[in-house]
């Protein structure tokens, strides 16, 4: 579960500061997808970065499975992120020289020795996830041999490699046409259900919102509306 309590975040802007996120609270339960929407510049990506523990907020708490990430030192926060949070960034950052399977197994090589899986376990996990995202037949292909939708599926599978309880996804459909976008949303809904993740999904694509379990709407960094949908 992820709970954001009264998050405020500002950035320096000349002599003043711009408030990117203004006193926002939300909770996402396991097995649910919460959409975060709002106009450009409304603070969606900033809020996701705070949830990911990549940016420390000016005020507020980030509770991941009841651990307050804002009280951890940088090393502890990195460990928490590695073990409990899967992140799919807006920009795909697949490594050009690696196959689809290696994009996943390389996750296991990063981070502290004690938290790594045995190589055979990592391979087995990668194959389960490649199957879950329907890419088994493409396991040995490199990014340039795959479509945009297939690359996005690998990004999602990779974020799930360490079995996170929280899945954070920024604009997963922005580079895809409507049909491929809808199929990525299908995938995220299914994996959230099967793997019981608490998923936050940033999107400005309103067509997908009715399919989510809840939606929060940001304007100028403030939460203006919370809607339970499904
Ligand atoms: N690193 C930064 N330094 C300074 N200001 C920033 C930084 N990141 C974001 N901002 C500002 O914070 C506000 C919120 O930006 P953010 O990227 O979170 O919005 P967004 O809703 O994700 O926008 P978009 O839909 O265009 O991606 C904006 O005013 C933006 O200019």
pLDDT in tens, 179-192: 889 999 999 999 99
Question: Is the beta carbon of 44 within 6 A of some atom in ligand 1?
Answer: yes
| Lowest-pLDDT range of 101-110, 143-152, 207-216 | 101-110
DSSP state string for 170-226: E-TTTTS-HHHHHHHHHHHHHHHHHHT-EEEEE---GGGGGGSSEEEEEETTEEEEE
**Range of 171's domain?**
2-228
pLDDT in tens, 83-112: 999 999 887 789 999 999 999 999 877 766
Mean pLDDT of the region 104-130: 83
Q: What is the structure's pLDDT at 115?
A: 65
Q: What is the structure's pLDDT at 114?
A: 67
pLDDT in tens, 21-53: 999 999 999 999 999 999 999 999 999 999 999
Q: What is the structure's pLDDT at 220?
A: 96
Atom of ligand 1 nearest to the CA of 46: 18
Atom of ligand 1 nearest to the CA of 12: 4
Residue 16 CB contacts under 8 Å (≥ 6 apart), including other chains = none
Angle in degrees, CA 47, 227, 153, rounded to 5 = 55
In which band, very low, low, confident or very high, does the pLDDT at 230 lie, cut at 50, 70 and 90?
A: low
How high is the mean pLDDT of the chain? 92
Atom of ligand 1 nearest to the CA of 48: 18
CATH of the domain at 130: 3.40.50.300
ipTM: 0.96
Distance 34 CA to ligand 1 centre (A): 20
Rg of the chain over CA atoms, in angstroms? 17
Rounded to two decimals, what is the model's pTM?
0.93
Strand partners, 80: none
Residue showing tokens 């689809």: 100
Angle in degrees, CA 19, 22, 78, rounded to 5 = 85
Task: Look at ligand 1, atom 31, and give the residue with the nearest C-alpha.
Answer: 41
Q: Could you give the number of structural domains in the chain?
A: 1
pLDDT at 113 over 80: no
Share of the chain above pLDDT 70, in %: 97
Distance 47 CA to ligand 1 centre (A): 9
């Amino acid at each position: 579960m992820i709970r954001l309590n009264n998050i405020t975040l500002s950035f320096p802007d000349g002599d003043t500061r711009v408030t990117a996120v203004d006193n926002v609270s939300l909770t996402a339960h396991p097995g649910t997808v919460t959409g975060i929407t709002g106009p450009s510049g409304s603070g969606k990506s900033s809020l996701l970065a705070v949830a990911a523990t990549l940016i420390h907020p000016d005020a507020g708490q980030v509770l991941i499975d009841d651990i307050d990430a804002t009280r951890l030192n940088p090393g502890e926060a990195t460990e928490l992120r590695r073990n409990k949070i899967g992140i799919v960034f807006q920009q795909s950052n697949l490594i050009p020289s690696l196959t689809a399977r290696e994009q996943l197994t390389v996750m296991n090589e990063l981070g502290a020795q004690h938290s790594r899986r045995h190589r055979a376990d990592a391979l087995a996990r990668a194959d389960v996830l490649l199957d879950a995202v329907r890419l088994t037949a493409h396991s040995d292909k490199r990014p340039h041999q795959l479509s945009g939708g297939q690359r996005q599926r690998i990004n999602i599978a990779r974020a799930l490699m360490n079995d996170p309880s929280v899945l954070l996804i920024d604009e997963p459909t922005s580079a895809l046409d409507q049909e491929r976008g809808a199929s990525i949303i299908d995938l995220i809904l299914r994996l959230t259900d099967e793997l019981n993740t608490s998923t936050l999904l940033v999107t400005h694509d309103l067509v997908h919102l009715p399919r989510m379990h809840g939606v929060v709407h940001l304007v100028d960094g403030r939460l203006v509306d919370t809607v339970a949908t499904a």
